[in-house]
Chain A
Amino acid sequence: MMKTHENNTSTPGERAQALFQVLKQKELIPDGYIEQLTQLMAHDWSPENGARVVAKAWVDPQFRELLLRDGTAACAQFGYTGPQGEYIVALEDTATLKNVIVCSLCSCTNWPVLGLPPEWYKGFEFRARLVREGRTVLRELGTELPNAVTVKVWDTSAETRYLVLPVRPVGSEAMDEEALRALITKDVLIGVALPHVA
């Protein structure tokens, strides 16, 4: 029976399903559309993609040069472009510079290369605080930076989608490309973590 009161007694899931049902009844949802997109979002777009890009840049100077000059072309070599990853810029860390990515206005992320953004990246705390107190936020998350390292926060406020190209860590000299990939986590690609050799 239809309730007439204004109170929001429904759950988020019930509202999502209600919108889905209305569209389905009108036959506006193509067969397989949601399943295909969900496969991309939940599985194909993954930080393992970004790890491949970074590991190749660490071992192949020509690819590194391309990645820094034309990130879109470099990621396209792997097929890692698409929705929310159409104009890609790689941010080069150095011994004195740490890049970190945020979207203070919503949640913009390089989906094909980093995967969909995690909850904390979309949360009010990270969006509000990172731009203003980057060093403090990194410390709280577990990344302590020497004073000589400058923090540069990139606010994803238009169509550019970023990934961080971190400094190849000490101790990784003998590692091959496949072994290097394991050092490059989602948080390393966002820029809140540094890669470490275990």
Chain B
Amino acid sequence: MDGFHDLGGFQGFGKVPHTINSLSYKQVFKQDWEHLAYSLMFIGADHLKKFSVDEVRHAVERLDVRQHVGTQYYERYVIATATLLVETGVITQAELDQALGSHFKLANPAHAEGRPAITGRPPFEVGDRVVVRDEYVAGHIRMPAYVRGKEGVVLHRTSEKWPFPDAIGHGDVSAAHQPTYHVEFAVKDLWGDAADEGFVVVDLFESYLDKAAGPRAVTP
């Protein structure tokens, strides 16, 4: 989903509001309700098993853009959890509105139904040059747009496999399990000279990748 959440490389933001080693993190929850965000998310995902954490991420992505920009981090997870609990029939919009005493604005409905993983291909190996598939996915996907169509080198293939986010993120519990790959990209290959030099490593599911044409990289 090419939404506002996909922020990597987005320009126009100011300085990161932090100085190294300041201790502001020591009060983990700054407001008396913030601990409820993850707690209620886990009640729905882990205790009631009504949705996956992938679906929570997708629900955050489905927040209306203007609302997304104006909300605090934990607030977005409250809205996402409420949205999924309504969509799965655990609670109703009317009950939320009643408890709040005003309209509880939820995330927008999904634009897509998700998609299955590509299966039956041989795995990639460390040192392989791979290209991120040049495809546009309206639903949930864990491929930041800045690597779409770009070429990189595999540094690591995970020893474990996980459900394909584009499927499980839409509630498909039959989602195929796949390894992910740590793929290294040169920053200059992503944004040309309009960037600092260096590298970015993105952790990409197998279905997002193809073998690149040309020789295997010499040094992984």
Which of B73-81, B110-118, B120-128 lies at the binding interface?
B73-81
Contact status B18-A42, CB under 8 Å: no
Contact of B105 among A8, A21, A129, A153 (CB under 8 A): A8
B104–A152 touching, CB < 8 Å? no
Given contacts A23-B91, A37-B39, A158-B180, are A132 and B19 in contact (CB under 8 A)? no
> Which residue from A23, A104, A118, A150 sits with its C-beta under 8 Å from B7?
A104
Q: A152 contacts which chain B residues (CB < 8 A)?
A: 184, 198-201
Cross-chain contact B43 with A29 (CB below 8 angstroms): yes
Given contacts A151-B196, A192-B20, contact A125 B33 (CB under 8 A): no
Q: Is the CB of A2 within 8 A of B158?
A: no
The yes or no answer to A115 lying at the interface (CB within 8 A) is yes
- Give the interface size class of chain A: 35 or more
Decide: B13 and A23 in contact? CB cutoff 8 A. no
Residues of A within 8 A of B196 (CB): 132-136, 151
In the complex, what distance in Å separates the CA atom of A17 from the CA atom of B36?
8
Complex CA distance for A12 and B35, rounded to whole angstroms: 12
Instruction: Give CA–CA (A136, B198) in the complex, Å.
Output: 11
Q: How far is the CA of A107 from the CA of B72 in the complex (A)?
A: 13
Query: A124 touching B25 by the CB < 8 A rule?
Result: no
Tell me the bound Cα distance from A118 to B195 in angstroms: 25
Contact of A33 among B39, B98, B205 (CB under 8 A): B39
CA distance A170 to B82 in the complex (A): 51
Which residues of B are at the interface with A, using a C-beta cutoff of 8 A?
Answer: 5-11, 13-21, 24-25, 28-40, 42-43, 47-48, 57, 60, 71-75, 78-79, 81-82, 85, 90-91, 95-105, 142-144, 146, 156, 158, 160, 162, 165, 180, 182, 184, 187, 190-191, 195-205
